[in-house]
Structure 1
């Protein structure tokens, strides 16, 4: 039986509200039941703190180092790793590990945003917008780098800054936008490489799942399932999921079921004999 480790990261990662910390716990628990896996928990939920990227990174870095260690250990096993994290910024810890231990990997980055800003060029100073750029060595997060831009495939990115569009238009960064034949275009972009999948749930259309950012014209659940079916035909290194919030801002609980159902083609691979 193929086994997949399941790690829940519960620590800080640039949070501006506590809902994603709680959301990671809930989604991770539901995935663990679906996969029949026990949970390894990293970090502890703490109240969000004010401050820009540097303050947030300093507060998050100790727990993120623990996450990096957990993913590095999981990657020594033959089975894919599964990680549920509160915020995208937690990938500051995971992507350098992938770059180091699986340099053959293509990172498929499902996200409404590119996350390729740098501290000096970021208007918002939001840590989550600086993740891919840090992993690619465009600035030093203190958590490592080593990932080449050419090994990243953005999927469903649509809220992009001018510098991020410039990287796409230059061909330095591959982008698979929302639209007809997305799954086929994704298959062509991946080109048979082993894949590590990052899913920020704001890649989905606004209103489908609770997340801090709600961006129109995103993926439907059917789109995500079709993309997962294509990726399931490749060699899967791992899956990480971020930004699922436990509830909507008005207090309505978020539902994990439709999201987990959309991931089913990948989950079947993770539990295949």
Structure 2
């Protein structure tokens, strides 16, 4: 992938601080993704936040600690959309979507958010049993609870793709038709194309949507996508207007102190989305 002369309208951002982290591997993971895109596209990223150690705390403390950086991320998105640019974003954790998606919803209410994730992330303060902020990353923008960062994303504009570790309160929302789920399966690309129905798309990728062992992630659940599945899905998405891409939960190593892992194979699978901006 190399588009050195075609990336002038892409705004690259790297969220490199904590947002509900359980370990310290995703912050440098986001930096690695940002650096790779910067080299490939010949654009400089804007970095949000300062790396900080994981708190391993409940959602309220995590949200309070991350709020200044999350607000800075939201402000960055406001500027990107106001300038008519396309956001390409490396996130440490899914919880940063609490800041990005409400801004997207205001500027592009016509866009379909395609949420690639092993989890639904539809918990609220009333339903969470773990207190994990990342498990509430999509429900906040949907207005199911008040994060203080906005909640105007319409549920009809959300597609969950690849989710397979779903708790009962989240499944109840899916069963009620609040959001649509496309499970990992052989005809995922075809089902995805039908569900999008030609709408503009904004893509959120949590790396744990992939099968365990492909890239380092905190959560590992069998039955996920292969890189070829992800690339096929991206080829379908690229037939629509791609109004943004955010990548989260890539950890720099398989374990603390381990050798750094390159994000290149993962990011090459996203080639159809990037080339759609050429």
On whether the aligned pair clears a TM of 0.5, the verdict is yes
Within 5 Å, which residues of 2 pair with 1:186-205?
186-205=192-211
Alignment of 1:209 with 2:215, yes or no, is yes
Distance 2:42 2:193 in 1: 29
Number of the residue aligned with 2:261: 254
Deviation at 1:253, TM superposition (A): 2.4
- 8 Å contact from structure 2 (residues 30, 90) kept in 1: yes
Deviations 1:146-184 (A, max 9, x none): 011111000000000111112222222111110011111
Alignment of 1:54 with 2:67, yes or no, is no
The 10-residue stretch of structure 1 (202-211 or 44-53) with the greater mean CA deviation from structure 2:
44-53
Number of the residue aligned with 1:28: 34
- Secondary structure of the 2:125 match is coil
Number of the residue aligned with 1:234: 240
Which among 176, 179, 194 is matched to residue 173 of structure 1?
Answer: 179
Number of the residue aligned with 1:66: 72
Structure 2 unaligned spans of 5+? 1-5
Distance 1:252 1:163 in 2: 38
Which among 133, 155, 162 is matched to residue 161 of structure 2?
Answer: 155
- Secondary structure of the 2:144 match is coil
- 8 Å contact from structure 1 (residues 35, 267) kept in 2: no
Deviations 1:166-208 (A, max 9, x none): 2222222111110011111011111111111100010111110
Distance 1:269 1:33 in 2: 18
Deviation at 1:77, TM superposition (A): 3.1
- 8 Å contact from structure 2 (residues 32, 262) kept in 1: no
Alignment of 1:244 with 2:250, yes or no, is yes
- Calculate the aligned-residue CA RMSD, in Å: 1.1
- 8 Å contact from structure 2 (residues 20, 56) kept in 1: no
TM-score using structure 1 length? 0.96
* Structure 1 residue ranges (4+ consecutive) displaced by more than 6 angstroms after TM superposition: none
Distance 1:96 1:167 in 2: 20
Number of the residue aligned with 2:107: 101
Distance 1:206 1:68 in 2: 31
Deviations 1:201-227 (A, max 9, x none): 101111100011111110000000000
Aligned length: 271
Which among 264, 268, 273 is matched to residue 275 of structure 2?
Answer: 268
Deviation at 1:45, TM superposition (A): 0.4
- Secondary structure of the 2:246 match is strand
